[in-house]
Structure 1
Amino acid sequence: MRIDIEDLHVAYAGRTVVSGARLIAAEGEITGLVGPNGSGKSTLLRTVYRHLRPVAGRVLLAGGDIRELSPARSARHVAALPQERGGDFELTVREVVAMGRTPYKRAFAGDNATDRDVVARALTDVGMAEAAGRHFTALSGGERQRVLLARAFAQEPDVLVLDEPTNHLDVRHQVELLALLRAQRRTTLVSLHDLNAATSVCDRLHVLHSGTVVASGPPREVITPELMADVFGVRAAVVDHPLTGDPLIAFDHRAPAGRPAAPALEAGTAG
């Protein structure tokens, strides 16, 4: 399923955080949101998974306003991994992941064979099958992150919305997670701080700055030295990765470009 965000305006705590955002997450593609801290990435994602209601504009799922769906029906289509991970669950890992099956159940219904198979597969996908019987509270931060991602997979959604999914993961598990996302070819909208990870895994990038989408397109077209200076305030070169051929951003740590300027780039079209 495709996500279309049309002229989205979102306010949070009395302040406009996203202003006039237009972008697309195409079916089967990984679409990345990048930008400095405070640029509106998380707020935009919260609107997609219905944690926030927009002041104006719409989020469309396969052409229909997502807010017109019931919460249960919406949860069958869209699964989210937010930055706020929730409290400590007094549950086993398997029980936490099984929570992802809730949209498919009647109240108080137990797990059936399909549920158990889906949960087992999700745990295997994130490399946590052997921890299924452990308590969630006994896990490290990175292990918890993978379990919560498995819970999102267990929803069997058409769309994944992931806010900084590589947080707390070591390098190996970051690489494995990004490879898993690419292999699934599920419509995915993801925010990433690591720009090199974003250029490697994403089919399309949308760059946010001060709540506005200032550039959109394939990573090789979007990530330029000029954008790195204007939006992120750093001096950088963009070269080919020696192993993959993906765009690789090399930062000049000795001569930073200075503070980011106000948005000066023409907003990219999300077509």
Structure 2
Amino acid sequence: MRVAIEDLTVTLAGRAVLSGVRLIAAEGEIAGLVGPNGSGKSTLLRTVYRHLRPHAGRVLLAGRDVRSMTTAETARHVAALPQERGSDFEFTVREVVAMGRAPYKRAFAGEDAADREIVAAALDQVGLGEHAGRSFAALSGGERQRVLLARAFAQQPDVLVLDEPTNHLDVQHQVELLALLRAQRSTTLISLHDLNAAASLCDRLHVLHEGAVVASGTPREVLTPELLAKVFGVRAAVVEHPLTGDPLIAFDHHTPASAGGGPAWAP
């Protein structure tokens, strides 16, 4: 399912957090959002899964405005993993993942065999199949993250919306999660702080700065030393990854970009 964001403006507390944003995630494509803190990434994602109502503009799923859909209909198409995640659920791991089946159930309807199979498969996907009976509240931050991702998978959406899903994960589980997303090939909108992870995972990148999209394209087209200096304020070289051939950003941790006289970003 194709996602298109058209002229999106979001105003919070009288301030335009996003202004005139246009971007797409093609069907089956992983589209990444990158940018400094406060650039509007999370706000944009919240409009896609209808946590926020835009001041102007539209979010289209296969050409249809999400605001014209019912909440249940949206939930059958879009599964979200936001940054603000509950940690005090008094449920087992399996019960949390089973919540992903709610958009397909009538009120008070119980699970059927298909639901149980889907939930079990989602837990296996994130490597927690043997932990179904554990208390969610007793899990580590990384384990909770994987459970909530399994809940999104159990929802069987057309579109995944993931806000910093690698937070709290150790390196092994970060690598496994990114490989899992590649294998899923669902249309995905994902925000990432790790630019090298974004370069490896994403088919397309959109760079946000001060509420506007300032660059879009493939990781190789977007992640240039000039953009990294202007938007992120860092000096870096972009080389080829010796194992994968993806762009690899080598940051200069000794000299700030400002020491080289780099200009501030002006869209």
Superposition TM-score tier, normalisation by shorter sequence:
over 0.9
Q: Distance in 2 between matches of 1:12 and 1:197?
A: 30
Distance 1:14 1:125, change over 3 A: same
Q: Distance in 2 between matches of 1:186 and 1:63?
A: 17
Q: Distance in 1 between matches of 2:15 and 2:124?
A: 42
| Cα pair 1:233 1:261 within 8 Å, conserved | no
Partner of 2:77: 77
For residue 179 of structure 1, give the secondary structure of its aligned residue in structure 2. helix
- Identical residues among aligned pairs (%): 79
Alignment size in residue pairs? 265
| Cα pair 1:34 1:205 within 8 Å, conserved | yes
| Cα pair 2:33 2:192 within 8 Å, conserved | yes
Q: How do 1:50-69 and structure 2 match up within 5 A?
A: 50-69=50-69
Q: Alpha-carbon deviation of 1:256?
A: 1.3
Partner of 1:242: 242
Q: How do 1:1-271 and structure 2 match up within 5 A?
A: 1-258=1-258, 262-265=264-267
Q: Alpha-carbon deviation of 1:11?
A: 1.2
| Cα pair 2:97 2:119 within 8 Å, conserved | yes
| Cα pair 2:87 2:136 within 8 Å, conserved | no
| Cα pair 2:237 2:249 within 8 Å, conserved | yes
Q: Alpha-carbon deviation of 1:87?
A: 4.4
| Cα pair 1:77 1:157 within 8 Å, conserved | yes
TM-score by length of 1: 0.96
For residue 239 of structure 2, give the secondary structure of its aligned residue in structure 1. strand
Instruction: Report Cα offsets for 1:123-166 as digits up to 9, x if no partner.
Output: 00001111100000110000000000000000000000000000
For residue 37 of structure 1, give the secondary structure of its aligned residue in structure 2. coil
| Cα pair 2:87 2:144 within 8 Å, conserved | no
Q: Alpha-carbon deviation of 1:77?
A: 0.2
Instruction: Report Cα offsets for 1:109-130 as digits up to 9, x if no partner.
Output: 1110010000000000001111
Which blocks of at least 5 consecutive residues in structure 2 are unaligned? none
Which blocks of at least 5 consecutive residues in structure 1 are unaligned? 266-271
Q: Distance in 2 between matches of 1:62 and 1:180?
A: 24
| Cα pair 1:231 1:261 within 8 Å, conserved | no
| Cα pair 1:66 1:74 within 8 Å, conserved | yes
Partner of 1:269: none
Instruction: Report Cα offsets for 1:45-99 as digits up to 9, x if no partner.
Output: 0000000000000000000101100000100000000000024110000000000
| Cα pair 2:87 2:137 within 8 Å, conserved | no
Q: Distance in 2 between matches of 1:160 and 1:71?
A: 16
